[in-house]
Structure 1
Amino acid sequence: MRRAAIGFILGLLCSGAAAADAVWEQLRKGGYVLLMRHAQTEPGTGDPPGYTLADCRTQRNLSSEGRAQARRTGEAFRTRGIVVNEVRSSAWCRCMDTATLAFDNATVWPALNSFFDAPGRRDEQTEQVQDFVQSVRPPRNVMLVTHQVNISALTGEPVASGEIVVVKAPAKPGERVDVVGRLNVP
């Protein structure tokens, strides 16, 4: 609780760019999980009726701005010298495209798949990700590219397309992950 209060106070003291600079600096130490919502997509919510994961043409995909946003995100990490040791992604094409455009590769991890259309999977998948966050220690940083519903279930916070919520293991097992900060590459 004390660390969360300190983080909240620091957040109030730091304004936009300064807060982001502080988060970038923390990432240099490692030990963080970065929850990235896929980059901007073509307009819409969810996927068209009858979509399949095996066929990107049936899904809501990245827009041209989203593809550029993903590339800028990867460039921001490289320019700042922030090491991302592993990239995992939802199987949805918009997530895999975001991950590979930003970081060149990614491994599909079903725990990151959207449960927007299957809310019964929410608790199991969220627990799997929570357990994984517990295992990440310095100097490793891990990027997880997923969906708004997944990030909100884990952190309790909404997230915009392309935005990154930086988390670490909670002080006490069983508690919600500690949100360190947010990054939004313009």
Structure 2
Amino acid sequence: MDRRSACLGLLTLPLMPHRAWSTDANADALALLRRGGVVLVLRHARAPGTFDPPGFRLGDCSTQRNLSEEGRAQARQLGTYLKSQQLQPSRVRSSPWCRCIDTAELAFGSAERWSALGSPQGGSEAANAQALTDLRQAVVDAAKRPGQFEVWVTHMFVQAALVSGDTASGEGLILGPDAKGQPAILGTFATAG
């Protein structure tokens, strides 16, 4: 048994039917990704519960809330769906939390860990403010690369802090800068059904 499987312990929650991605429902989102100059900010795939247990440690998945088997399948299907649409991110970045890393790696094969995408629940006020500054600048920088898009895998709290929006697990917001150079929601990437 690998360490991530061990982290799931005796989890006995029933698996709910997986919702699929729909090209029709995501037509606008797919067009934005093809155009490039944007960031797809994904919330990690399904992980049972809320928040991490007291005393959690980054780098030790056994102390964190982790993806369920349904979440692992959701992440793999996300990557398969984007590949079927001939869409490959130029860069994949992830929060250092295990559920985000696992989502990114299962969907895209690998990911850079970026502390700016970490949950604000685990950082100081100063660190969170700097993370938002870094994220805002990275959205502006991504806009300078037409024909390319980045994927960031993070938490609902980061989505909310960055653009006052969030998504369901495994879904995303497509961001680009507005006229004032601030991150804005250009579209959503959602499962169907």
> Given the two structures, how large is their TM-score scaled by the length of structure 1?
0.85
Tell me, in whole angstroms, the C-alpha distance in 2 between the residues paired with 1:161 and 1:35.
Answer: 11
Letter in 1 for 2:44: H
* Cross-structure match for 1:114: 119
Q: How many angstroms apart in 2 are the aligned matches of 1:38 and 1:87?
A: 13
Q: Does residue 38 of structure 1 match 2:44? A: yes
RMSD across aligned C-alpha pairs, in angstroms? 1.6
Q: Quick one: which amino acid aligns to residue 101 of structure 1?
A: L
Given the alignment of the two structures, is residue 160 of structure 1 paired with residue 168 of structure 2, yes or no?
A: yes
Q: Work out the CA distance in 1 between the residues paired with 2:25 and 2:79.
A: 19
**Structure-2 separation of matches of 1:115 and 1:75:** 30
From 170, 179, 183, the equivalent of 2:185 is: 179
Cα distance between partner residues in 1 of 2:136 and 2:101: 21
Q: Secondary structure at the match of 1:116?
A: helix
The alpha-carbon deviation at position 19 of structure 1 amounts to 5.2
1:97 equivalent among 102, 108, 111: 102
Q: Does the residue aligned with 2:26 lie in a helix, a strand or coil? A: helix
Matched, 1:134 2:121: no
Q: Do the aligned partners of 2:92 and 2:152 also contact (CA within 8 Å) in 1?
A: yes
Is 2:88 aligned against 1:74? no
Q: Which runs of 5+ in 2 are unaligned?
A: 1-21
Aligned pair count?
Answer: 168
In structure 1, distance between residues paired with 2:140 and 2:152? 14
What code does the residue aligned with 1:165 have? L
1:28 and 1:52 map into 2 onto residues whose CA distance is: 37
Q: Which moved more, 1:163-172 or 1:128-137?
A: 163-172
Contact 2:160 2:166 in 1 (8 A): yes
* Matching residue of 2:31: 25
TM-score, normalisation: structure 2: 0.82
Q: Residue type matched to 2:34 in 1?
A: R
Higher helix share: 1
Look up the SS of the partner of 2:121 in the other structure: coil
Runs of at least 4 residues off by over 3 Å: 16-19
Q: Which residue of 2 aligns with 1:88?
A: 93
The aligned residue for residue 13 of structure 1 is none
Give the letter for the 1:182 counterpart: T
Gaps of 5+ in 1: 1-15
- Code of the residue aligned with 1:61 in structure 2: it is N
**What is the alpha-carbon distance in structure 2 between the residues aligned to residue 22 and residue 29 of structure 1?**
11
Deviations 1:12-49 (A, max 9, x none): xxxx975521211221121110100000002x211011
**8 Å contact from structure 1 (residues 152, 159) kept in 2:** no
Cα distance between partner residues in 2 of 1:17 and 1:34: 16
Identity level (%): 40
